[in-house]
Chain A
Amino acid sequence: MTTVTDEKPFIELTAKDFKSKIDPDWCAGCGDFGVLNALQRACAELGLRPHQILTVSGIGCSSNTPGYFNAYGMHTLHGRSLAFAAGAKMANHELTVIATGGDGDGYGIGGNHFTHTARRNVDITYVVMNNQIYGLTTGQVSPTSTVGMKTKSTPFGSVEYPINPLTSAIMNGATFVARGFSGDVKQLTDLIKKAITHRGFSLVDIFSPCVTFNLDNTNAFFKERIKKLDEETHDTSDWKAACEKAMVWGDEIYTGLFFERSDRDSLDHLEPILRDGPMSARSLETSSEQAERLIQRMM
């Protein structure tokens, strides 16, 4: 079903070709612009075609991304992007499936899917715009909000500890774990390209500041602190080192590729059923031999 039916010569696409007709309605200065930009560049640089890509999101400011991206897309339910994305990928593994969303969407309400999609190693690239706040619902605490953070739902400061998306992903079995910053589109483009190319579940957690509701973790906050992993010695096959670097939060905060493993294959390669091609392309007819076998079992 994914066959390219035209014989047109291959025309190189640019980031612009991945812009949709709709202009983003994000607040001016929102980090999500940078993420969208990097995503568009990454797809263009990888030579992907819009009809071969399926972007899938939940609900949130960040989850509006598929609407602004020229590709097939599903703008689904709050927290459910990975479940929809995994279903689509398992049914048609020839599609490049990219899930996009926010910290609340992915690590809060969608936490169970985050755990199990990573464990299952479904070949999906998961781009999370982590602004440490619930943006769309006008500024409540999120699972990645820091201790003490004052939000509309924690007016006296949050007393809960945040989740660490990167260590969680590594523990859950994700085979590619990276962190980017919306203020560094070049690095982010590179990380997203690597994530899409990686065979298996890839997490790209991105600091994507909400300029309207998170006045703690701003662009300036990250610019002052970010250190790039590839500028130091870091072994991306060492999960302990990856976790240690991921937990650093203070004067220094790391971005880059933390962890990658190739010893665990992705679900679409592990599942023998998929060896005959995508499910979506199968004939729906039952053969006489298959039917006979089914009936014999009942006799």
Chain B
Amino acid sequence: MADSYDFAFAIGGEAGQGIATPGDTMARIFVRRGLHLSAYNAFQSIIRGGHIFLTVRVSEELIYTHGDKLDLLLCLNQDTMDRHLRLMGPGSAVLYNSDKITPGDAGEGTQLCGLPIGELTGTTRTGLNQNTVALGAMMHLLGIGIDVLEGSLSQQFQRKGEAVVNENVKVARAGFEYAVKNFTPYPGEVATGPKPLALWSGNDALAMGGAVAGVKFYAAYPMSPSTGVLHWMATNARNLGIMVRQVEDEIAVANMVIGAAHTGTRALCATSGGGFALMTEAIGAAGMMEIPSVFINVMRAGPSTGVPTKTEQGDLWQALGASQGDFQRFIVAPLHTLDAFNTMAEIFNLTDRYQCPGIVLSDLLISEGRYSVDPDYLNMHPTIDRGELITESNGAGGDTPYNRYANTESGISPRAVPGVEGHVHVVATDEHDEDSRLVSDEFTNPHIRRMMVEKRARKFDGVVDQIAPPELEGPADADVTLVGWGSTYMAITDALKLLEARGVRVNYLPIKWIVPFHVEQITAVLSAAKKIIIIENNHSGQFARYLRGETGITANGHIHKYDGEPFMPHHIVDGVVDLMEKKEAESYVPYQEVVV
């Protein structure tokens, strides 16, 4: 890893200063060169002011996090300089508008690169121009020709007309030329990868994964950090033929999705914890009526309104406890963006085959992070399996009456959709018999009730074998086994390389499927582990409790982070090293150095 190209830059400022645009310009320049990219934007829920800190890391190797160090810092305001200069190490550079920003004491080996923006742009009205000047200077520091940036700017401002393009190019060049005269570039060249890569967010991945799985109905009520799924769906609705609706509340969202799904349409919705709470009665209804439907919960720091712009894995038990009663449902926590994309087709097929709801647990880190992806890895035409779905009359209804909830051996009863002759039936959230007559208000029947509970439960006999079990990564005889679920895959994977480099013999069991849970395989792996450390992005160790409940296995150490910011690889390295020395099971809570 030491030899391969790995570079991280950050842009800090306040909301409204246009951080997204230079961030995006740079990100695209890098992915077009074929470099892998991982970007994390730390921000607050305001439109202007506050502190925004976008970190973009690029590498020749596949990376999952924004890393541990910064090579370049672009300060758009004094606050950014004051907060982050201390984080800059030897060999790094700091760009800032020297008309307005006073640098502090830089550490040894940090190059302070003040840009006289007024002089370079010929105006005192700095505005967004300072970003473009800085981009020009960055081109010199990185050793990328100014022509590459000019190309990007022309493309970006094309729609705004030639004058705007020229103005931007002029300003960028001024920055570049000033930098050539005054700043020392980084040694070595920016690497190039074998082919251009694409750029997406986890919300893009979830939405597009749903779309290629055949979603034709999407309903939502906006809630961070899930709103990106709605935006993607709305943008692509016409191209793909998807009915997209923003409706009155998440209760309506969930119920509409089930109503749509009942007609045989693949239907999806996404929300965050608060909205998911409102959806839970509906999820149970889908379980009882046996209507396949998919609900995404993009977790943010809770409880309640919590920290809307910060990440957490705090809703595991909310998902496990979503809705009253015992019913069959899938719960899956994708590990990264590409996994999120692939998970959508998988969960739609599973919910169709087993006629039940499915819950996808994403989080802000996956959903709002931006990552590179190799377009060749995207299966845009996944297998679609609708299960036992009746969409055309097969002559039933005469001698062979159709029973919607037929007590079959598998527990799965062929599902006819409204409109099909000879299959008329009423689905019900009350307990019902095979023919969907209610077994609830007027007459109850313990034997029918038992039969129907068992019929639905039987659907899940052996379901775990239909899903790939988690696989241990690293040497089987490692000294320590790390366990994580969902998005911690990203930080743990990056941390594994660092741990190996430090000589720690470590392996890792990434958990994606929560329900069904691969009890047998997980027990086998963990029983052989010398020391187990569970890593999760919450306070109480929600997954550790679940693991203990399902397998009886307790961990020998825990790494918890619940300050709103995601794990950085070194947090995990430090935690593992610290816990390796402990005799008793303890918890390690990493310190968040970057304060935003």
Contacts and interface: CB of A to CB of B under 8 A. Distances in A.
Interface of A: 1-6, 20-22, 25, 49-52, 54-56, 59, 64, 66-67, 69-77, 80, 83-92, 94-95, 112-113, 115-116, 136, 271-274, 276, 278-280, 282, 284-286, 290-291, 293-295, 298-299
Contacts of A299: 32, 196, 198-199, 375
A21 B32 CA distance: 66
Contact of A1 (B259, B266, B282, B420): B420
Contacts of A116: 247-248, 252
Given A83-B255, A284-B213, A90 B375 contact: no
B258 A84 contact: yes
Interface in B48-79: none
B515 interface: no
The 3 closest A-B pairs by CB, nearest first: A284-B214, A87-B259, A87-B256
Contacts of B380: 286, 291, 294-295
Contacts of A279: 216-217, 241, 243, 260, 263, 265
A83 B381 contact: no
B427 A73 contact: yes
Contacts, number: 219
A298 B428 CA distance: 43
Interface of B: 32, 196, 198-200, 204, 208, 211-214, 216-217, 219, 236-245, 247-249, 251-252, 255-267, 281-282, 285, 289, 373, 375, 378, 380-381, 384, 391-393, 417-430, 435, 437-438, 441-442
Nearest to B249: A112
B426 A91 contact: no
A294 B199 CA distance: 12
A285 B384 contact: yes
Contacts of A136: 441
Contacts of B392: 1, 3, 5
A6 B442 CA distance: 37
B263 A285 contact: no
Given A25-B441, A25-B442, A94-B419, A280 B265 contact: yes
Contact of B242 (A6, A20, A25, A273): A273
A87 B217 contact: yes
A54 B418 contact: yes
A274 B243 contact: yes
Contact of B421 (A5, A20, A67, A293): A5
A280 B267 CA distance: 10
B216 A284 contact: yes
Given A83-B252, A83-B259, A116-B247, A273 B238 contact: yes
A108 B438 CA distance: 24
B108 to A, nearest CB: 41
A20, A71, A87, A282: most-surrounded residue (chain B CB, <10 A): A87
A298 B430 contact: no
Contacts of A89: 259
Contacts of B243: 90-91, 271, 273-274, 279
A5 B196 contact: no
Contact of A276 (B241, B257, B260, B264): B241
A67 B259 contact: no
Nearest to B430: A75
Contacts of A69: 426
B241 A273 contact: yes
Contacts of A115: 248
Contact of B265 (A2, A54, A91, A290): A91
24 contacts: A1-B419, A3-B419, A4-B421, A5-B393, A21-B435, A51-B423, A67-B438, A74-B289, A75-B438, A76-B255, A83-B247, A83-B256, A84-B256, A88-B263, A90-B260, A113-B251, A272-B238, A279-B263, A280-B216, A284-B213, A284-B214, A286-B240, A286-B380, A299-B375
Contacts of A22: 437
Contact of B217 (A59, A91, A95): A91
Contacts of A76: 255, 258, 285, 289, 429
Contacts of A49: 421
A285 B285 contact: no
A6 B429 contact: no
Given A95-B263, A280-B216, 9 more contacts: A1-B263, A1-B420, A5-B393, A71-B424, A91-B243, A91-B267, A92-B417, A278-B263, A279-B263
A75 B263 contact: no
Given A5-B392, A91-B260, A116-B252, A75 B428 contact: yes
A110 B424 CA distance: 27
Contact of A298 (B200, B241, B425): B200
A91 B263 contact: yes
Contact of A77 (B217, B247, B248, B255): B255
A188 to B, nearest CB: 22
Contacts of A20: 426
A291 B393 contact: no
Contacts of B259: 56, 74, 83-89, 91
Contacts of A294: 208, 211, 236, 239, 380
Contacts of B249: 112
A92 B200 CA distance: 32
A51 B255 CA distance: 22
A72 B419 contact: yes
A233 to B, nearest CB: 37
Contacts of B200: 298
A79 to B, nearest CB: 8
A295 B208 CA distance: 10
Nearest to B254: A83
A116 B248 CA distance: 7
A274 to B, nearest CB: 7
Contacts of B426: 20, 55, 66-67, 69, 72-75
Contacts of A91: 216-217, 243, 259-265, 267
Contacts of B418: 2, 51, 54, 72, 88, 92, 95
B32, B214, B241: most-surrounded residue (chain A CB, <10 A): B241
B384 A77 contact: no
Contacts of A71: 424
